[in-house]
A and B are shown apart, each in its own frame.
Chain A
Amino acid sequence: MSDAPEESITRRIFVRTGIAAAGACYAAAMGYPVFQYLAAAAQKAEAESAVKEVILNDVEKLPAPSALMFKFGGHPALLIHHADKSWTALSAVCTHLGCTVEYDPHQERIACACHGGVYNPHTGGNVSGPPPKPLTLFHVVVADGKAVVSRV
């Protein structure tokens, strides 16, 4: 070992870097399992919600105009039976801050009670209020009393 100041600084830096690196390894070795453990619930829910298609039975019983709430991929969705007997399926999650919207057959619109957002019930287009985007529209086919809702 030399007493030269330059060398001892190098040595100090080496030791410090080594300790910091070992500490980072320990932090990662503990942090990774803890993160994965905590994330397991969200991953499970995500896997369960990864659906492409939902089949709804007995939809002929749904009077026109009215709507029915159902779950599409873990989130609420709306199946609307319009006065002209046509069907629309769309996401019921408001694009503003995530409240669940409601179909209003009297005024022919979809409204969000939280901040007054209004959507078009045929297209999901954001008509007025704070929503920045239209509601996600789904593909819907009704036959033999069954509605098959799928992603567009």
Chain B
Amino acid sequence: MERRWSPVFNPSNLLKAIWQWVDARLDLSPIVKHASEKQVPEHRHSSWYYWGGICLFLFVVQVLTGVLLMVYYRSGPDAYDSVREITYQIRFGWLIRSVHAWSANLMIFAVFVHMFSVFFMKAYRQPREFGWWSGLGLLGLCMVFGFSGYLLPMDELAFFATRVGLAIPETLPGMSGIISAVLRGGPEVASATLQRFFALHVVVLPALFAPLLGIHLWLVQKHGNALPPSEEAKPEAERKSVPFFPNFAMRDMAVWLIVLNVIAVLAALFPWQLDAAADPLKPAPPGIHPEWYFMSQFEALKLLGRVIPGTLGEFAGVGLFTLALLMWAAVPLFDTRTAPGQRGRNTTLFGLLVLIAVIALTVIGYIEVL
């Protein structure tokens, strides 16, 4: 009798059988079909499509390095000492911390680039409004991530940055008690502040960020890449695109590799340092300034304070911000699509104005403190 191998012993048949078993239960083939049919438009502005992926990659770096830092970080009175150990004693601790800090900064930068590219490509127009709003929510969370994470080493800079950062909203009427009771945990930035910022940074924010990111990514899959108006104006036959798998995914990964190398070079050549331990009785060091992503807001408040002195100035500043932010968020509502390829020049001008103002205020801020 002829001996035959059962087909299940062929590895590729085995894989196929496992796949069919799983698919029969979870009905995954529509997802695979969607992924295999997914196309990415190819045009002059295609390179901006990489920035969302860059943000995602940097977020993953943040999660992984953040978990590693938690292995040795101790919040509470030991916080400074534990970060000193991580930075100067534990092998490669400096690298993990530097990657976390550099990647955090790059992530905020990438999110800003992503946001402005979406804005100028008008990728917030119907049906992508929720993508715009969920993205703004993610940006807001990133800023709070940055602000709360900055305190955790509990060195001088961390201490004063948090002190000033919490003092700004405190000037608003009725906010003083709330900030003290809820955020600062007392009249002065101390161990109690650190503990709640730590909880915020490693539990609350990730718990909010992860589902919002899930929605954001799901929307991207649902709607696909938006076409800029210049492309939309072209007849369909003239538009070009490439398959997501494998072409665009490969390019995405190549970009991630570049970003990884950039982080590695930055972390190795400019490792993040640690200041002296926070001392509430020491005067603020000269030239102290907020992180670059808070600089424009800080500078705007400062300039407004010169024009309108006192609490009124702060109030006007915060009010102006809120208004600008609301307008920014509402862009999809007033810049609606009327005809394919319509550019909406006023909105573009508004965006340019915001971009120039942010850059100018940041530059002025740095000139003033340096």
Interface pair B90/A40, CB less than 8 Å apart: yes
B window 77-110: CB within 8 A of A: 90-93, 95-96
Interface presence of A107 (CB below 8 A): no
- Residues of A contacting B68 in the complex (Cβ-Cβ under 8 angstroms): 34, 37-38
Question: Interface residue count for B (Cβ, 8 Å)?
Answer: 11
Interface presence of A36 (CB below 8 A): yes
Docked Cα-Cα span, A33 to B92, in Å, equals: 6
Chain B positions near chain A (C-beta within 8 angstroms): 68, 71-72, 90-93, 95-96, 257, 260
Docked Cα-Cα span, A34 to B93, in Å, equals: 9
**Secondary structure at chain B's binding surface: helix, strand, loop or mixed?**
helix
**Secondary structure at chain A's binding surface: helix, strand, loop or mixed?**
helix
Partner of B92 from the list A26, A37, A41 (CB cut-off 8 Å) is: A37
Partner of A40 from the list B93, B95, B257, B260 (CB cut-off 8 Å) is: B93
Docked Cα-Cα span, A37 to B260, in Å, equals: 19
Docked Cα-Cα span, A152 to B203, in Å, equals: 50
Interface size class of A (residues with CB under 8 A): under 10
Docked Cα-Cα span, A40 to B72, in Å, equals: 10
A window 30-65: CB within 8 A of B: 33-34, 36-41
Which residue on B lies nearest to A38, using beta carbons?
B71
0 or 1 for each of A4-34: is its CB under 8 Å from B? (1 = yes): 0000000000000000000000100000011
- Residues of B contacting A39 in the complex (Cβ-Cβ under 8 angstroms): 91
Docked Cα-Cα span, A87 to B257, in Å, equals: 65
Give the shortest distance, in Å, between B240 (CB) and chain A (any CB).
Answer: 25
Give the shortest distance, in Å, between B210 (CB) and chain A (any CB).
Answer: 22
Give the shortest distance, in Å, between B102 (CB) and chain A (any CB).
Answer: 15
Which residue on B lies nearest to A43, using beta carbons?
B91
Docked Cα-Cα span, A76 to B93, in Å, equals: 31
- Residues of B contacting A33 in the complex (Cβ-Cβ under 8 angstroms): 91-92, 95-96
- Residues of B contacting A41 in the complex (Cβ-Cβ under 8 angstroms): 71-72, 90
- Residues of A contacting B92 in the complex (Cβ-Cβ under 8 angstroms): 33-34, 36-37
Docked Cα-Cα span, A33 to B93, in Å, equals: 9
Give the shortest distance, in Å, between A1 (CB) and chain B (any CB).
Answer: 21
A-B CB proximity, top 5 nearest: A33-B92, A40-B90, A37-B92, A36-B91, A40-B91
